[in-house]
């Protein structure tokens, strides 16, 4: 993730692909799935919204029993990608599912997930022009 935020996207992709190969070899489904979602995050930053959606769908389909943290990450990423594509109904669906999941018992990094949820909701409201005060 450091490479992503430093703008070293090519190197970040290479390291992610290498890490995914190791995770798959070791049958580490949780981190393999998480690494694929980080890859989707990179595609989202690169404005490859369709690619980010495809990676998210693949990450959930390729690994059994995703953990709540990975499901929420996927929902935030898909929501942000759908906002950028102008699919606001789908965005709302994804983000409301994530929000409902956060109303259940806390999981790892919930505080961070809450920040990403608020950011994705803000993106949606701005894109829709929904600027009424709350």
The whole-number mean pLDDT for each consecutive block of 10 residues of the chain, a chain of 134 residues, reads 89 95 93 94 96 94 82 93 96 92 76 87 91 64
Check: CB of residue 81 under 8 Å from CB of residue 53: yes
Indicate the length of the chain as a whole number.
134
Burial 34-45 (b: 16+ CB within 10 A, else e): bbbbbbbbbbbe
Q: Tell whether domain 2-128 is in CATH 1.20.272.
A: no
Backbone angles phi, psi at 87, to 5 degrees: -95, 75
This prediction has a pTM of 0.87
Q: What is the reported pLDDT for 85?
A: 97
Domain boundaries, the chain: 2-128
């Amino acid at each position: 993730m450091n490479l992503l935020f430093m703008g070293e996207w090519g190197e970040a992709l290479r390291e992610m692909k290498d890490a995914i190969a190791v995770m798959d070899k070791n049958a580490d489904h949780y981190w393999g799935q998480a690494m694929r979602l980080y890859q989707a995050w990179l595609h989202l930053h690169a404005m490859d919204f369709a690619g980010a959606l495809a990676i998210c769908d693949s990450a959930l389909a390729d690994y059994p029993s995703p953990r709540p943290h990975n499901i929420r990450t996927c929902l935030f990423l898909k929501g942000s990608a759908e906002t950028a594509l102008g699919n606001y109904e789908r965005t709302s669906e994804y983000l409301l599912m994530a929000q409902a999941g956060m109303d259940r018992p806390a999981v790892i990094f919930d505080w961070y997930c809450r920040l990403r949820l608020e950011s994705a909701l803000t993106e949606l409201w701005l894109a829709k022009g929904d600027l009424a005060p709350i």
